[in-house]
C-alpha cells in the first residue's frame, strides 16, 4: 500500500493572528499545498506515501523537502529544476470578514515543468493509489498536461486514482477553462471528491444549491452525485463535503458519499472557533483515502474522513497534525474537548 | 470633498493576546484615537482627509505622523509643541471579563494647546465636512475650549459638522461635567452620532434603556432621537449605534437613524468572535460620513456605516482597515466568511 | 487568618497559541500547580498565604519562588533539596480537539522529599486553614505519605482542612490506587471539593452521571454529596463543580454545595471562548476558601467561587489574576463584557 | 529641488536574527530596493522625492506604497499592472559566515513593464536630479530598455543623472552581459557611484585590487576613477565606496571621490557590530546626492555620504532611518555612542 | 543592615533589538529607575532593602510593585496617590549610533508628591544606609524638596548617606539648575558616587577631561575627588566610574575611589558586545554599597562594584541580575566566558 | 559508508536572546545532544547516518524524531521505552558573563535503558564508522554500560570507532569517576577527539596548560597527544580542539592532530561575535569524520573540521546547518563575510 500524489507545494506566508496583510512586519512561514497536505496526513496515519513535484535548487526548496521528509513522506521523486518556489499569502478572517489568499505562483518550477521531465516508471513503482486535485491543472498549460499524463500513466498501471476537483477561481488564468480539462481527468478517475460548487465549476454539472446562503439541501447532493456517476461510468465513488459557512470562524461540517449502491450522509460537526480552515478539504481527501484502504465500509471511511477534517479546523497550518487514534476518538463520539491529563 | 477632524491621537499600548497588563514584558504599540480613526477609515475609502492635533517634537510623534501619512491622511495642520504624546493602555477581555483601558493622557501636547495656537483659516481651507467627538472636550479645559471654537469656526464657514457624543466616564476629570459642554457643541452640529447611553450622559436626555442587560428596545430610540432633534433644531440627523453586549467577544450590532422624516433601524449583525472592539464606534462614524457623502439615501448610508463597523470588530488595532468594496460585499449580504481564493 | 497549602509547583511549558507540541521552536514558560494556584488567587484577594513545597537549588527554582513572592505568597517554608523542578507540557485544544497535558514530574524534588524533611511546627504556625489536593498524593509514595502527615499535623492543631479530590488519570503510577489513599486523607478533611468524577475515582463512591455527554443532572449531585457526608461525618461541607463541556472552548460552568443542612446549586455561566481552562478548578477552590472566610453564607461563598473560576477561563496561565472587586462585579450580574474606560 | 528614482521595490523576507532560512517558521517582512532606499533616505533628510516603479494591484503592493508614502516619498508615478511584487529572501551572516540573498524577482510587474508604459513627461515634471542603479537593467530586457530610456529622457530635460553601477552576479540572467548595457547608461550619467568591483564588472575597466583580501590600496582608486572620467567625458564626478570586509559583522568603511580636479579619500569608520549591511551602498548614494545638493564642497558631500552610510550599518532593514542632524553629529566627530538622555 | 533608597521607578519601553522607535509595532515593557535598580541589585546580593516612591492606584503600578516584591525588595513605604506611572522610552544603539532615551515623566505620581506625604519615621525605621541619586531632584521642584528632606531626615537618624550625582541633561527642566540643588544634598552625604562629568555638571567642580574623546587621564581624577572632599568635609569617600566609550557596544570600564587616605584605581574591563548599558551606573553604586558593608577594604569594595557593573553590561533590562558568587568569580579573574556546564 | 552514533538527544530550552533564565515567560525549544549533532552535521554533508537512542512514547519524542528524519538521519534504531525526554536549559552569556547550562536529564529514557535493550546486530548492519562521546557514559551506570558494550560490539565487527572525550563536570553524578570508565572505552577507540582539558579529566593524563588564561602553548599538545597514543596503542589518531576564550562572544579557534607520524596544527580563526557556541565541539567531530572519510590527507581533514566548527559558532542551535561547499569556501580562504547576492 503506497499512496502517491503530485502537485505544487508552496511557501505559505500568513500574517500574524487575524491581522490584515503587512499590518506588522512579520509573516508566519510554513509550507503547504493540496496534494502535499494529503501526503502529510496519510504519513501521520502511518501510511507509505510519496510526493511528486518540481522545485528549484535553493535553500527554501531544501527546507520544504526537509519538512516533508520529517513527516515521513517520500521525496525521492521530486525533480529540481529552474523556477521559483511558489508562494501563497494568507490572511485569516474572522466573523463576517473572510480569509484572503493571494496566489504568487507565477514561474514556479512546477508550473514550468513538462510531463516528460518526470520519470513515470519510477514514480509509480509500488504505488497502489494515486491522488490528484483540480488545483494542479489550474496553474499552467504545462501542469494541465502533466496532470492528464499522470492519471493516464497511473491507469495504465491499474492504480486506483482519486481526484479532488477543488475549483479555484483565482487560478485557471492561462487561457483554458476548468471545464475543458477537468472532465478529461475525471475519465481516468475512480474516486471523485468535491465540495458544493466544484462539480458545477469543474465538470459543468449544474446544481441549484446556493452556497453562500449557508443552508444545504441533502437531496440535491444525491442527484448531483448520481449525475457524476452517470456521466463518468468509470467513477465508482463520489464524495462531497458539505460546508455550512455561518461565518469565517463558525462552520458546520459534514459530507456525503455515493458509491452507486448507497448514498450516505455523515454526522454533522459544529465548529465554532475555527483555528485554520485552509487544508480542510485536503484532510478530508486524506481521511477518505485512509478510510477506504482501512475499513471495510464506505460509510465508516466517510465518517473517518469527516472527523479527520473536522479536527483539521482546530490545527494551525496546512497540515493535519492528528493521529488515527485522535480521529477515531472523535468518530467514537467524544467531541467534548475535555483536557487530556 | 474633504473631511477634517480634530482630536488626540495616542500611542496605544496593548498587552499581548488576552493577557492582563504586564503578564509578559511586552506591549503591542500602535496609534489610535477617535478622530484619527475616522480619518484613516475615510482615507481607506479614498476620501480626502485632514487630521488636526498637537504633538510634541520627538520620535514617537514623528512615527505617529508617518503612519497617518502612509494611509494618505493629511497631516499638515498638526502643530508641534511642548507636552507628551498621550497614551492609552489596553487589555483585551474575553467572555465575562471586560476589556480595560487605562488612560495616560495627562500633560499631552493636545491637552495643553489653546484655541489660538491653531490656524483655523488654514485648517478649514477646502474642508467640506468637519467631524468632532465628545472625547476631545473631555480631556482638559483647553481642549474643551478648542473643540467649541472649532465647531464655531467650521459653522462660520458653512461646513457640515458631525459630532460623535462618545461619553467616557474615566475622562471629564478637570472639573466640568460633560453636560455643561456637550450641549453647547451640539448647537453647532448638523449630524449627531451617539451610542445607547451617550445622549443621557452628554446631553442629559434621559432614556430608560438598561444598557447592561444586553436587550435593546427600538421604540425607545425613536423617542430619544426625536427628543434630540426637538431640543437642537439645528441637528438634521441623529444616528445611534445599538450594541447588545452578550459578552466581551460576542456582541450584536445595529444602528438607527432619524432624519426628521423617517426613523430607520438597520440590519443586525451577530459578531461572535470579536477581535478588537476598540474603534468600533469611530468606524461607524466614518462609514456614516462616507455614506452620507456618497449615497443618495440615509438608510443606505446607515447600512454602509453598520456594515463597515461590523467588519471593524474583526480587525486588530484602532484603525478600520477595510475597503469600500469589502463593506459593500457585506452590505450586499455575503457574511458567510468563505475564504477568498 | 492565614491559608497554607502544600503541593508541587511546576514549570508550565505551553506551545504557542493553539499549536500542537513543537510545531514552532518555542514554548511559553510560566509556573503553576494546583495548590500554588490556590495561594496566588488568595494573595490576589489580599489574604495571607503560605506555600509549602520542595524545590532544587537552581535558577529555575529561584525564578519560581521570585514569582510567588511577587504575588505576596509566603515562601519561607519551601525546602531546597536534590531533585528537579517538575514540568508539565501543555497544548491548548480548540473545538473538538482537547487540550493535552504531558506530565514530566519524575524525580522532582517534591516527589522525593519525605515527611520528616518538613518542619511542621514552623509550617503551621499562625495557619488557620490548610488546603491540599488529590494531585499531591498521586505523585509518589513519598508525597502520599507527606500529604497524609500534613493533614494529620493540621488537624492536631485544630486547623480547618480543605481537600480538592482532583483525580488525574495520568498520575497514580507508583503502584497504589487513589482509592487506597484518598479516603484516609478525607478522614481529616472538613471541606471536600470535587468535580463530577472525582468522588468516584478518588473515594470509590459511584454516581451514574455520564461526564462526556455534556449533560448534568442536578439531583444526582444532591445524592452524591449526601453520600460523602454520610461516609465521612467529619466533613462539614462538600462542594462540587459542574462543568458541561460542549467543546474545548465552550463550557457551561456551575457548582453546588451541600453543608448538611442545605443543598444549593449556583448560577450557571456560559463560557464560549475559553482562553485557558487549566487552573479553573483551583480558582474555584480558592474562591470557596475566600468566600467561606469572608461571607456569612455558604451560598454566597459558592457564588463567589463560581464567579471567580468563571473569570479564570478568560485568563492566560495557571494563576487567576483577578481581584475581589472583579469577582463581585460578575456575581452582581455584569457579565456583559463592556469595555471599562 | 526634487529627486526622482526608478527601480524595483521588493518585499524583503528575512529569517529572524542570525537564523538560517526556515530554521523557524517566521520571516521578518519589510520592503526595500536600491532606488527606493535612496528615496527614503532623502525623504528622511526632508528632500522632495518621487519613486517610479510598476506594481501589481494587490494588498502587498498597497502596503508597499503605504510605507513609502509614510516616509513622504512621492508615489503618484507608480504604475499598477500585471505581475508580482518581487521578493528577496535574506539570511543574516555572522563572523566568517556571509549573509545570503535569494532573489525571487521573476515575473515581477517591474520586470514586465515596457518603456512606453511610463509617462515620462509626468515623471520628470519638476525633477532636478534623477538617480538610477545597475540593478534595474540587470532584471530583464524590458527593465534594461526602461533604464536606458529613462536616462535619455532625463538628459533631454537637462536633469542631473546619477548612477550607482551596483553589479549583482545573481542577476543579469536574461542573456545580455552588464558590460553591454552599463556603458550605454553611463554615457548619459553625470555622477557615477561604484564600489570596488563595480567598475570592472559593469564597465569592463580593470583594476587589480583583490576585494576578498580585505586590504585596499588607495592609489589604485585614483587611477580607476581617472580612467572612468577619461572614457566617459560626460561624467563630472566619480565616487567609490571602499569596504574592507574583515568579517560579516566587522567592516571598515570609507569612500573616495574624483571630480576631475581633486581626488579625495574620506575618513574611515570601523564598524564592529554590523546590524544590517543591506542598503549600505544606497545610503551612501543618497548621502552623496544630499551632500552635493546642500554643501558647497564635494569633500563635505562625500563625508556626509560616508557618515550616513556608516550609520546605516547600525539600522535594521533596507531603509536608512537617520536624520541630517544625526549624520552631521557623526561627521563632527562624535562616534562614541554615548547614551543620549 | 538595611538599605533604603528613594526615587522614581518607571515603565521602561524599549524598541525590539536594535530597532529605532516604532519600526515595529512592539515595545519591550519592563520597569527600572536608578534607585530601584540599586535595591534590586542589593536584594540579589541577599541584603535587606526598602524602596520608597509614589505611584498611582492602577494595574501598571501594581505590576511594578509585584516585580520589586518578587526580588525581595521592601515595598511597604510606597505611597499611592494621584498621577501617572512615569515612563522612559529606550532605543538601543550600535556602533557609532548612540542609544536614545525619551523621558516621559511629566505628571508622574512621584513628581507631584510633597515631602510631607512621606512618613519619614516609618521609612527610616531600621535603615542603616540611605541611597539617593541626582535624578530625583532633577524631576520637579517637589522631588528636589523631597530629596533634600530625605537626606536631612536620614542624617538626623545617623544613617549613612550615599548619593550618586547622576547628571541628566534632559531633566532639570523645572527652572532650577542642578548646581543650585546638588551641593546642598552633598552636604548631607557620606559617600559620593559620580561619573566623569557629574562633578562638573552637578557640583560645578571643573575637570578638564574630554569625555567624548574616549581617553581618560587618571591623575585628573585624583585631583577631582580631592577637590570634592575638600569642599565637602562631611564626605568620607568619593568613587568615580571611568567609562571609555569606543562605540555604542564597546566600552572600557573602570572606577576609582578616594577615601581621604588613599586613591585607588580599579582593574579595567573591556566590554566589546554590550547587551544593555542602562543601569550600569546603578549597578556600580549597588556593588559599592554591598562592598563597603561587606569587605573590610575600600579597594575590595571598589573591585566588587566594578566587576558587578561590568557584568551588568551583559544583562538585559535595568536590573542587574547577578549573584555575589558571579561577581566574585569575575573579581577572582575568570572573565573568559567559558560555558558553565 | 555509514556513520552510526549513540547517545542522548535532549529538548534544548534556551532563554530568548541573552536573557537570564525566566526573565521573560518564553523559551526557545529545539533539540540537540552531542552524538545527534554529529549525525545532523554529517547528513548535511550528504553522508548516510544513523542515530541510536532511547526515547519515551510521547509527542515530544515524536517531534524529536521528526526533526532528525527531516535532516535525513536514520532513526529506525531508536528504541521507545519508559522514561522522560531529557532536557537541558541554556542561557547565553555575553562578554565576561559565561553561558550557563542546567542539565535536567534525570530519569530520561536513555539513562534507564540497559545494553540488552538495544539490537546490536541491527544497529551495526552496514555501519562503517561508529562515534561515541564521553557524555553518554557520564549520565548513569546504565549508559556507561551501554557505551562500553557499544564500542565492544563495534570493534567485534571491525568498525572504526571515534570517541570525543567531552568531559562535563556537572554530569558523572552516579558515583563513578570519569577516569574509571573513559580509559576502558578508549581501549576500543581508533580516533580520539578531545579539548584542552578532556585528556586530564577523562583519561587522567596531566597537561599543565591553564585553560582559563586564554593562552595556549602548542608544544604541550604535541606531548599530550603523544602520551595518549603511547598509553593506548590502538589509537591511530588524536585530534584536540584549541579554544582561546577571550570572552563569552570572542574566541579564537584552532585544532591539532597527531597521527603517530606527524603533528599538525590548523589555521586559526578569530570569532568575535559568537552566535551559539554549543555544539561547536560536535561540529568539529563531524567535520573530522567527514574529512577523514573524504580527503586523503589528515591535515586536510583537520582543516575541514576546524572550518566547519568555526562556522558553527555563527549558527543558532545545536545543529551545524552548513554544507560542504560552505565549509570548503572558508577553508579556501574566504572568511570576509561579504554578502552573497
A60-70 residue pLDDT tens: 999 999 999 99
> In a 3-state reduction of DSSP, which class is residue A245?
strand
- How far, rounded to the nearest angstrom, does the alpha carbon of residue A226 sit from its chain's CA centroid? 22
Q: Which residue of B has its CA nearest to A246?
A: B336
Q: What is the pLDDT of residue F216?
A: 66
Q: What is each CA distance from D327 to A144, B167, B246, D1, in whole angstroms?
A: 57, 47, 56, 21
Q: What is the pLDDT of residue C211?
A: 55
pLDDT band at A335 (very low <50, low <70, confident <90, very high): confident
Q: What is the pLDDT of residue E208?
A: 66
Q: What is each CA distance from C207 to C196, C199, C255, in whole angstroms?
A: 9, 8, 16
E19 touching B (Cβ < 8 Å): no
For residue C174, pLDDT beyond 80: yes
Given its phi and psi angles, is residue E80 left (phi above 0), alpha (psi -120 to 50 degrees) or beta? beta
pLDDT band at C17 (very low <50, low <70, confident <90, very high): very high
B222 touching D (Cβ < 8 Å): no
Q: What is the pLDDT of residue D281?
A: 97
d(CA C313, CA C279): 8
Query: Which of F135, F335, B231, B285 shows the shortest CA–CA distance to D93?
Result: F335
Beta-ladder partners of F245: F251
Q: What is the pLDDT of residue C216?
A: 66
Q: How far is A25 from chain E (nearest CA, A)?
A: 7
d(CA F167, CA F281): 11
Q: What is the pLDDT of residue A337?
A: 87
A271-302 residue pLDDT tens: 999 999 999 999 999 999 999 999 999 999 99
Find residues 26-65 of chain C whose CB sits inside 8 Å of chain F.
26-30, 58-60, 63-64
Find residues 262-321 of chain F whose CB sits inside 8 Å of chain B.
none
D84 touching A (Cβ < 8 Å): yes
Lowest mean pLDDT among B58-72, B93-107, D215-229, E318-332: D215-229
A67-119 residue pLDDT tens: 999 999 999 999 999 999 999 999 999 999 999 999 999 999 999 999 999 99
Q: What is the pLDDT of residue F339?
A: 87
Q: Exposed, middle or buried by CB within 10 Å (0-12, 13-18, 19+), for A305?
A: buried
E142-198 residue pLDDT tens: 999 999 999 999 999 999 999 999 999 889 999 999 999 999 999 999 999 998 789
For residue A208, pLDDT beyond 70: no
Grid cell at residue E186: 552633598
Q: What is the pLDDT of residue B215?
A: 61
Query: What pTM does this model have?
Result: 0.97
pLDDT band at C213 (very low <50, low <70, confident <90, very high): low
D69 touching B (Cβ < 8 Å): yes
Q: Which residues of D322-332 are buried (b: 16+ CB within 10 A; e: fewer)?
A: bebebbebbbe
* Averaged pLDDT score across all residues of chain C: 95
Query: Which of F90, F111, F129 shows the shortest CA–CA distance to F11?
Result: F90
Contact of F189 with F151, CB cutoff 8 Å: yes
Q: What is the pLDDT of residue D61?
A: 98
Q: In what helix (H) or strand (E) does residue B150 lie, and over which residues does it extend?
A: helix B141-156
From the list B69, B71, B72, the residue facing D72 with the nearest CB is B69
Mean pLDDT score, A205-224? 74
Q: What is each CA distance from D1 to D49, D123, D292, D327, in whole angstroms?
A: 9, 14, 12, 21
User: What subunits touch chain B, counting only 3 or more CB pairs under 8 A?
Assistant: A, C, D, E, F
- CB-based contact B341 A273, cutoff 8 Å: no
Mean pLDDT score, E288-304? 98
A21 touching B (Cβ < 8 Å): no
For residue B211, pLDDT beyond 60: no
Contact of F94 with F248, CB cutoff 8 Å: yes
Question: Where would I find the beta strands (DSSP E) of A198-341?
Answer: 237-247, 250-258, 263-265, 269-271
Q: In what helix (H) or strand (E) does residue D312 lie, and over which residues does it extend?
A: helix D298-312
**In this complex, how many residue pairs, one in chain B and one in chain E, have their CB atoms less than 8 Å apart?**
66
Long-range contacts formed by A146-152: CB under 8 A, 24+ apart: A146/A6, A146/A113, A146/A114, A146/A115, A146/A118, A147/A6, A147/A181, A147/A185, A148/A181, A148/A184, A148/A185, A148/A188, A149/A115, A149/A120, A150/A6, A150/A52, A150/A115, A150/A118, A150/A120, A151/A185, A151/A188, A151/A189, A152/A188
Phi, psi of A340 (to 5 degrees): -90, 100
Q: Any idea what DSSP says for residue F126?
A: T
B272-295 residue pLDDT tens: 999 999 999 999 999 999 999 999
Contact of B12 with B90, CB cutoff 8 Å: yes
pLDDT band at A182 (very low <50, low <70, confident <90, very high): very high
Q: How many CA atoms lie within 13 Å of D228's alpha carbon, on the beta-carbon side?
A: 33
From the list F315, F330, F339, the residue facing D99 with the nearest CB is F339
User: What subunits touch chain C, counting only 3 or more CB pairs under 8 A?
Assistant: A, B, D, E, F
Q: What is the pLDDT of residue A71?
A: 98
d(CA B113, CA D188): 53
Q: What is the pLDDT of residue A204?
A: 92
Contacts of C310 in chain B (CB under 8 A): 95-96
Q: How far is D277 from chain F (nearest CA, A)?
A: 8
Q: Which residue of C has its CA nearest to F64?
A: C22
Query: Which of F138, F156, F159 shows the shortest CA–CA distance to F147?
Result: F138
> In a 3-state reduction of DSSP, which class is residue A163?
strand
From the list E273, E313, E321, the residue facing F249 with the nearest CB is E273
Mean pLDDT score, A215-226? 85
Q: What is the pLDDT of residue B213?
A: 55
d(CA D37, CA D35): 5
- Other CB atoms closer than 10 Å to residue E153's CB: what's the count? 18
Q: How many CA atoms lie within 13 Å of B220's alpha carbon, on the beta-carbon side?
A: 18
* Averaged pLDDT score across all residues of chain B: 95
Contacts of D85 in chain A (CB under 8 A): 104
Contacts of A27 in chain D (CB under 8 A): 13, 26-27, 29
Q: What is the pLDDT of residue B297?
A: 96
Question: Where would I find the beta strands (DSSP E) of C248-325?
Answer: 250-258, 263-265, 269-271
Contacts of E25 in chain A (CB under 8 A): 23-24
Q: What is the pLDDT of residue E337?
A: 87
Q: Which residue of D has its CA nearest to B69?
A: D70
**In this complex, how many residue pairs, one in chain E and one in chain F, have their CB atoms less than 8 Å apart?**
90
Under-70 pLDDT residues of chain D: 207-216
Q: Which residue of E has its CA nearest to D17?
A: E17
Contacts of F58 in chain C (CB under 8 A): 102
From the list B326, B337, B340, the residue facing A245 with the nearest CB is B337
User: What subunits touch chain A, counting only 3 or more CB pairs under 8 A?
Assistant: B, C, D, E, F
From the list E17, E100, E247, the residue facing D272 with the nearest CB is E247
Under-70 pLDDT residues of chain F: 207-216
Q: What is the pLDDT of residue C335?
A: 84
From the list B66, B71, B72, the residue facing D71 with the nearest CB is B66
Q: How far is C2 from chain A (nearest CA, A)?
A: 31
- CB-based contact D339 E19, cutoff 8 Å: no
Q: How far is B22 from chain C (nearest CA, A)?
A: 11
C228-281 residue pLDDT tens: 999 999 999 999 999 999 999 999 999 999 999 999 999 999 999 999 999 999
Beta-ladder partners of A322: none
Amino acid at each position: 500500500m503506497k499512496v502517491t500524489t503530485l502537485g505544487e507545494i508552496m511557501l505559505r506566508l500568513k500574517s500574524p493572528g487575524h491581522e490584515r496583510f503587512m499590518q506588522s512586519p512579520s509573516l508566519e512561514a510554513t509550507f503547504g499545498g493540496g496534494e502535499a497536505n494529503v501526503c502529510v496526513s496519510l504519513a501521520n496515519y502511518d501510511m507509505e506515501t510519496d510526493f511528486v513535484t518540481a522545485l528549484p535548487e535553493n535553500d527554501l526548496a531544501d527546507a520544504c523537502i526537509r519538512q516533508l521528509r520529517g513527516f515521513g513522506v517520500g521525496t525521492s521523486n521530486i525533480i529540481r529544476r529552474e523556477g521559483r518556489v511558489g508562494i501563497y499569502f494568507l490572511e485569516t478572517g474572522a466573523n463576517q470578514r473572510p480569509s484572503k489568499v493571494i496566489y504568487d505562483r507565477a514561474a514556479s518550477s512546477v508550473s514550468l515543468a513538462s510531463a516528460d521531465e518526470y520519470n513515470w516508471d519510477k514514480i509509480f513503482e509500488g504505488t497502489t493509489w494515486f491522488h490528484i486535485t483540480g488545483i494542479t491543472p489550474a496553474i499552467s498549460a504545462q501542469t494541465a498536461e502533466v496532470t492528464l499524463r499522470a492519471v493516464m500513466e497511473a491507469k495504465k498501471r491499474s492504480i486506483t486514482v482519486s481526484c479532488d476537483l477543488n475549483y479555484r477561481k483565482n487560478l485557471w488564468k492561462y487561457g483554458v477553462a476548468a471545464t475543458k480539462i477537468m472532465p478529461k481527468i475525471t475519465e481516468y478517475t475512480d474516486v471523485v471528491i468535491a465540495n458544493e460548487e466544484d462539480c458545477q465549476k469543474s465538470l459543468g454539472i449544474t446544481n441549484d444549491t446556493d452556497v453562500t446562503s449557508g443552508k444545504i439541501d441533502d437531496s440535491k447532493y444525491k442527484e448531483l452525485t448520481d449525475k457524476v456517476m452517470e456521466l463518468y461510468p468509470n467513477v465508482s465513488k463520489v464524495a462531497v463535503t458539505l460546508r455550512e459557512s455561518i461565518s469565517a470562524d463558525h462552520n458546520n461540517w459534514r459530507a456525503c458519499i455515493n458509491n452507486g449502491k448507497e448514498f450516505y450522509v455523515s454526522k454533522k460537526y459544529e465548529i465554532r472557533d475555527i483555528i485554520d480552515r485552509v487544508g480542510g478539504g485536503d484532510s478530508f481527501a486524506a481521511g477518505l483515502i485512509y478510510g477506504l484502504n482501512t475499513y471495510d465500509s464506505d460509510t465508516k471511511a466517510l465518517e473517518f474522513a469527516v472527523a479527520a477534517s473536522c479536527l483539521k479546523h482546530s490545527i494551525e497550518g496546512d497540515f493535519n497534525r492528528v493521529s488515527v487514534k485522535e480521529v477515531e476518538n472523535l468518530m467514537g463520539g467524544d467531541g467534548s474537548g475535555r483536557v487530556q491529563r
